[in-house]
C-alpha cells in the first residue's frame, strides 16, 4: 500500500488515567498517610482502604463519577486546607494569602486556556455552588445595575432598606427557563427543592415525545412566550449533544442570558469531542461545571464567563460562597493541567466511543433506550420493558456488582423516586482502560441481570422497590464482572 507522504505520524496516546508511571511513589505515600491516620482514628483509615477495594471491585457506571489521578488526590491532602482566603485573587479579607493567590491564579489560567474562555473562577465548592454564583452574577449584571441607576447611581452600600426592598422584589420576579427534570435537566435549573426554584419563576422546556430529542423550535416558541431573563442549557441525563449556537440564537431573540451547565460533559468539551456549535463556551454568556465528572478532577465547581459577567462572578465569595477550599483549587489546577495533555483528548474520545458501544450492546439485545441511543457519555435505559421500576433494576444490578443510578425518563410513569430508567455513564470505566468490546460485555451482563429479575410483593401487596432474582444470577454476573475488572485495573501498581 502506498504511503501518504503528507501524513504526519502522531504518537499513540493512552486514554487511561495518568498515575501508573508514578505508582510506586504514590503507593509509598498512601501507605505512610494511612499509617498516620491509623494512629489517630483507625476506623477512618479502615474505611478509606475499604473504599478503594470497593471501587476496584465494582463496575462503576454512575455517569457523574470518575477516578481522579493520584496526583489530583494527593494534592488535596495538604496544609493549603488550613488557610482562610475569602475574597478574590489579590483582594482577600485575610492576610498572608500570597500562596492561595498563586494556586487560584494557576487553576483559573488552566481553565481559561483549556476552554478558551476570557475568564474563569475556580472557587465554587460544587456544581450547585457554581450555578448559584452564576445566577447571582446574572441578576447583578442584568438587574441590579439598571436598578441602581434608577436610585440615583448610589452604590450598593448606600441603598436604603426601601431601595433594597424594591430591588429584592424586582430580582425575585425574574424568570428562568431550563430543561425539565424528567427529560434530563437538573434540580439547580429552577426546580423547587433547590434555591433556583425559589429565586426565579421557572418554566421548563422538554423534548419531542416521539424522538426524545430537544426540539429547538419548541424551545424558541416557549422562550418567546415566557421571556426568561436566564435561559439554561445543559443536562444531567440527556444522552445527546446540544446545539449551543441555536440556544444562543434563542436567548438573543428574547433578550435572555444564556447559561450553560456543562457539569456532565465538561470532559468532552475539554477533550475537543464537542466542538463548534456543540462547544458551549463560545456561545454562552456564563458556563458552569463541576470538576469531578467527565473532567476527572477533584470534587468541586468552576465558572467561566464573558468579560461582561466576569466582575459579578468574581464576587462569588463572599456573596454566596464560603471561604475557598485552597487545597481543592490546587487539585483543580493539577487536573486541568492533566486535561490539557494529548492523552486527555484520547480519553474523551474513548468515553464517547464507549458510550456508543454500550448503547449498541443494549439495542442489539432488544433493550429500549431513551432517544434510541447516545452521542455523549451517557445512556438512559428504559427498564419498563423488563417489567421493572428503576429502583428494582438499580438494586438488582448493585447485588451483581454493577453500580448505576435510577433515573426518571420522559413522562415517567413511576415518578422521580422509583423511576423507570437506569442511567449509565462511561467516564469512570474508560479511565480504567475499558474499550468498546468491554462495554458490549457490560451491556450483556446488565441485560442478563434484568432478564433474571422480577418485581416482588411487599408485606402490603405489589411494591415498586421489592424484587427477586433468579438463583445464581448475582454470583454469575459478579464473576464475569471480576474478569473485566481484573483486565482493566484501577490505579495499576498502586498497593496499600
Among the listed residues 18, 26, 45, 64, the single contact to ligand DSN using CB under 6 A = 64
Q: Is 86 a catalytic residue?
A: yes
Which of positions 8-47 make contact with ligand DSN (CB under 6 A)?
none
Considering CB under 6 A, how many residues would be counted as binding ligand DSN?
4
**What is the spatial distance between Cα 42 and Cα 437, in angstroms, rounded to a whole number?**
41
Contact flag: residue 473 with ligand DSN (CB under 6 A): no
Place of cell 485495573: 489
CB of 480: closest distance to ligand DSN in angstroms? 26
Judge whether 464 counts as a catalytic residue. Answer: no
Nearer to ligand DSN, 127 or 421 (CB): 127
And the C-alpha cell for 79?
A: 496544609
Query: Does position 127 bind ligand DSN by CB under 6 A?
Result: yes
Contacts of 104 (CB under 8 A, 6+ apart): 85, 89, 122, 123, 324, 326, 329
For residue 309, cis peptide bond before it (omega within 30 degrees of 0): no
Smaller CB separation from ligand DSN, 200 or 238: 238
CA dist 129 and 321 (Å) reads: 7
For residues 330 and 101, what is the distance between their CA atoms, to the nearest angstrom?
A: 11
293 flagged as catalytic: yes
Q: Is 299 a catalytic residue?
A: yes
Tell me the CA distances in angstroms from 459 to 223, 399, 462, 463, one per residue in order.
Answer: 48, 22, 8, 9
- Interface residue with ligand DSN among 202, 236, 400, 404 (CB under 6 A) is 236
Instruction: Name, in order, each residue with C-beta under 8 angstroms of 21's C-beta and a sequence gap of 6 or more.
Output: none
Pick the catalytic residue: 104, 129, 261, 278?
261
Cell numbers representing residue 474 in the block: 448475582
Catalytic residue among 49, 170, 175, 299: 299
**Catalytic residue of the set 83, 293, 391, 423:** 293
Give 127 or 427: the residue with its C-beta nearer to ligand DSN. Answer: 127
Q: Which x/- pattern over 182-221 shows residues binding ligand DSN (rule: CB under 6 A)?
A: ----x-----------------------------------
Give the separation between CA 309 and CA 289, rounded to whole angstroms.
16
C-alpha torsion 341→342→346→348, nearest 10: 40
State which residue, 186 or 391, has the beta carbon closest to ligand DSN: 186
Closer Cβ to ligand DSN, 127 or 300, answer by number = 127
Q: Does residue 323 interact with ligand DSN by CB under 6 A?
A: no
- For ligand DSN, the closer of residues 141 and 431 by Cβ is 431
- Judged by CB under 6 A, the chain residues 441 through 470 that form the site for ligand DSN are none
The active-site residue out of 288, 290, 426, 473 is 290
Minimum Å distance from CB 422 to ligand DSN?
A: 13
Least distance in angstroms from the C-beta of 274 to ligand DSN:
17
| Alpha-carbon Rg for the chain in angstroms | 24
- Closest CB 236 distance from ligand DSN, rounded Å: 4
Q: How far is the CB of 186 from ligand DSN (least distance, A)?
A: 6
As a whole number of angstroms, the distance between CA 494 and CA 52 comes to 10
Which of these is catalytic: 38, 65, 86, 454? Answer: 86
CB-nearest residue to ligand DSN: 64
Joined grid coordinates for residue 7: 501524513
Which residues, in sequence order, are bridge partners of residue 287? 260, 304
CB of 198 to ligand DSN, least distance (A): 18
CB of 420 vs ligand DSN, minimal distance in Å: 17
Q: Which residue, 423 or 441, has its beta carbon nearer to ligand DSN?
A: 423
- Name which of 110 and 186 has its Cβ closer to ligand DSN: 186
**Residues pairing with 395 in the sheet:** none
261 has catalytic annotation: yes
| 186 vs 248, beta carbon nearer ligand DSN | 186
Query: Nearest approach, Cβ of 291 to ligand DSN (angstroms)?
Result: 13
Quick one: angle between helices 23-40 and 42-56, nearest 10?
140
- Provide, rounded to whole angstroms, the least separation between the CB of residue 163 and ligand DSN: 36
Task: Please identify every residue annotated as catalytic.
Answer: 84, 86, 261, 290, 293, 299
Binding region for ligand DSN (CB under 6 A): 64, 127, 186, 236
Amino acid at each position: 500500500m502506498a504511503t501518504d507522504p503528507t501524513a504526519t505520524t502522531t504518537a499513540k496516546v493512552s486514554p487511561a488515567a495518568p498515575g501508573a508511571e508514578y505508582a510506586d511513589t504514590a503507593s509509598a505515600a498512601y501507605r505512610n498517610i494511612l499509617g498516620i491516620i491509623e494512629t489517630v482514628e483507625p476506623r477512618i483509615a479502615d474505611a478509606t482502604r475499604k473504599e478503594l477495594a470497593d471501587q476496584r471491585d465494582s463496575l462503576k457506571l454512575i455517569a457523574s463519577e470518575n477516578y481522579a489521578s493520584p496526583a489530583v488526590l494527593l494534592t488535596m491532602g495538604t496544609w493549603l486546607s488550613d488557610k482562610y482566603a475569602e475574597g478574590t485573587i489579590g483582594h482577600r479579607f485575610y492576610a498572608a494569602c500570597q500562596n492561595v493567590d498563586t494556586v487560584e491564579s494557576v487553576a483559573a489560567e488552566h481553565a481559561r486556556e483549556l476552554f478558551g474562555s476570557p475568564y474563569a473562577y475556580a472557587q465554587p465548592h460544587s456544581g450547585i455552588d457554581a450555578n448559584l454564583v452564576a445566577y447571582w452574577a446574572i441578576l447583578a449584571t442584568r438587574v441590579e445595575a439598571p436598578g441602581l441607576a434608577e436610585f440615583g447611581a448610589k452604590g450598593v452600600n448606600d441603598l436604603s432598606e426601601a431601595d433594597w426592598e424594591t430591588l429584592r422584589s424586582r430580582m425575585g420576579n425574574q424568570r428562568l427557563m431550563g430543561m425539565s427534570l424528567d427529560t434530563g435537566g437538573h434540580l439547580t435549573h429552577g426546580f423547587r427543592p433547590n434555591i433556583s426554584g425559589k429565586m426565579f419563576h421557572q418554566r421548563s422546556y422538554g423534548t419531542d415525545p416521539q424522538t426524545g430529542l430537544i426540539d429547538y423550535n419548541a424551545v424558541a416558541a416557549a422562550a418567546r412566550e415566557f421571556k426568561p431573563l436566564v435561559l439554561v442549557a445543559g443536562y444531567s441525563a440527556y444522552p445527546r449533544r446540544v446545539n449551543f449556537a441555536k440556544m444562543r440564537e434563542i436567548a438573543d431573540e428574547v433578550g435572555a442570558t444564556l447559561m450553560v451547565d456543562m457539569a456532565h460533559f465538561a470532559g468532552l468539551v475539554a477533550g475537543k469531542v464537542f466542538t463548534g456549535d456543540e462547544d458551549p463556551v463560545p456561545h454562552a454568556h456564563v458556563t458552569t461545571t463541576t470538576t469531578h465528572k467527565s473532567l476527572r478532577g477533584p470534587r468541586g465547581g468552576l465558572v467561566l464567563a464573558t468579560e461582561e459577567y466576569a466582575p459579578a462572578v468574581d464576587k462569588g465569595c463572599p456573596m454566596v460562597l464560603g471561604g475557598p477550599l485552597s487545597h481543592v483549587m490546587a487539585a483543580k489546577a493539577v487536573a486541568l493541567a492533566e486535561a490539557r495533555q494529548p492523552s486527555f483528548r484520547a480519553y474523551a474520545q474513548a468515553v464517547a466511543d464507549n458510550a456508543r458501544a454500550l448503547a449498541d450492546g443494549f439495542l442489539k439485545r432488544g433493550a429500549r433506550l431513551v432517544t434510541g441511543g447516545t452521542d455523549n457519555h451517557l445512556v438512559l435505559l428504559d427498564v419498563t420493558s423488563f417489567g421493572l421500576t428503576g429502583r428494582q433494576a438499580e438494586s438488582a444490578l448493585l447485588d451483581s456488582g454493577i453500580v448505576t443510578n435510577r433515573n426518571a425518563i420522559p413522562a415517567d410513569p413511576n415518578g422521580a423516586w422509583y423511576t423507570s430508567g437506569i442511567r449509565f455513564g462511561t467516564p469512570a470505566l474508560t479511565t480504567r482502560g475499558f474499550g468498546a468490546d468491554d462495554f458490549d460485555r457490560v451491556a450483556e451482563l446488565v441485560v442478563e441481570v434484568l432478564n433474571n429479575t422480577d418485581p416482588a410483593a411487599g408485606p402490603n401487596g405489589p411494591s415498586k422497590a421489592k424484587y427477586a432474582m433468579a438463583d445464581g444470577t448475582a454470583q454469575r454476573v459478579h464473576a464475569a464482572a471480576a474478569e473485566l475488572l481484573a483486565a482493566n485495573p484501577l490505579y495499576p501498581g498502586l498497593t496499600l
